[in-house]
Chains A and B, each alone.
Chain A
Amino acid sequence: MALKFPIFMDAQSTTPGDPRVVEAMVPYFTEKFGHPASRNHPFGWEAEAAVDAARGKLARLIGARDPKELVFTSGGTEAINLALKGVAEMYREKGNHIVTTVIEQRAGLDVCKRLERQGFSVSYVPVQPDGLIDVEEIRKAITDKTILISVMFANNEIGTIQDVAAIGKLAKEKGIIFHTDATQAVGKIPVDVEAMGIDLLSCTAHLLYGPKGVGALYVRRKGPRVRLAPMMDGGGHERGMRSGTLPVPLIAGFGKAAEIASAEMAAEGARLAKLRDRLQDMILSSVDEAFLNGRPDRRLPQNLNISFAYVEGESVLMGLNKETALSSGSACTSATLEPSYVIAALGASAELAHSSIRFSLHRFTTPEEVEYVGQRTIEVIKRLRDMSPLYELAKEGVDLKTIKWKAD
Chain B
Amino acid sequence: MAYSDKVVDHYNNPRNVGSFGKDTPGVGTGLVGAPECGDVMKLQIKVNVETGVIEDAKFKTFGCGSAIASSSLATEWLKGKTVDEAAKIKNTDIVNELKLPPVKIHCSVLAEDAIKAALADYKEKNATNPVAVASK
Closest Cβ of chain A to B106, distance in Å, is 7
Does B36 contact A390, Cβ atoms closer than 8 Å? no
Does A337 contact B33, Cβ atoms closer than 8 Å? no
Docked Cα-Cα span, A351 to B35, in Å, equals 5
Does B64 contact A312, Cβ atoms closer than 8 Å? yes
Which residue of chain A is the closest to B65 with respect to CB atoms? A318
Any chain B CB within 8 A of the CB of A388? yes
Does B35 contact A388, Cβ atoms closer than 8 Å? no
Which residues of A sit under 8 angstroms from B19, Cβ to Cβ? 392
Any chain B CB within 8 A of the CB of A40? no
Does B60 contact A408, Cβ atoms closer than 8 Å? no
Does B62 contact A389, Cβ atoms closer than 8 Å? yes
- Give the size category of A's interface with B: 20 to 34
Does B64 contact A315, Cβ atoms closer than 8 Å? yes
Query: What are 26 A-B residue pairs whose CB atoms fall within 8 Å in the complex?
Result: A311-B62, A312-B38, A312-B39, A312-B63, A312-B64, A318-B64, A330-B38, A335-B102, A337-B38, A337-B103, A349-B35, A350-B38, A354-B36, A386-B17, A387-B61, A387-B68, A388-B60, A390-B62, A392-B19, A405-B33, A405-B35, A405-B40, A406-B32, A406-B34, A407-B36, A408-B113
Q: Report A343-373 CB contacts with B as 1/0, cut-off 8 Å.
A: 0000001110010000000000000000000
Docked Cα-Cα span, A403 to B41, in Å, equals 14
Q: Report A307-339 CB contacts with B as 1/0, cut-off 8 Å.
A: 000111011001100000000001011110101
- Contacts A312-B64, A318-B65, A354-B38 known; list 20 others, CB within 8 Å: A312-B62, A312-B63, A314-B64, A315-B63, A332-B38, A333-B103, A335-B103, A339-B36, A350-B35, A351-B36, A387-B17, A388-B62, A405-B33, A405-B35, A406-B31, A406-B117, A407-B32, A408-B32, A408-B106, A408-B110
- Residues of A bordering B, CB below 8 Å: 310-312, 314-315, 318-319, 330, 332-335, 337, 339, 349-351, 354, 386-392, 400, 403, 405-408
Which residues of B sit under 8 angstroms from A330, Cβ to Cβ? 38
Docked Cα-Cα span, A249 to B40, in Å, equals 50
Closest Cβ of chain B to A90, distance in Å, is 41
Which residue of chain A is the closest to B43 with respect to CB atoms? A389
Contact of B36 among A315, A349, A389 (CB under 8 A): A349
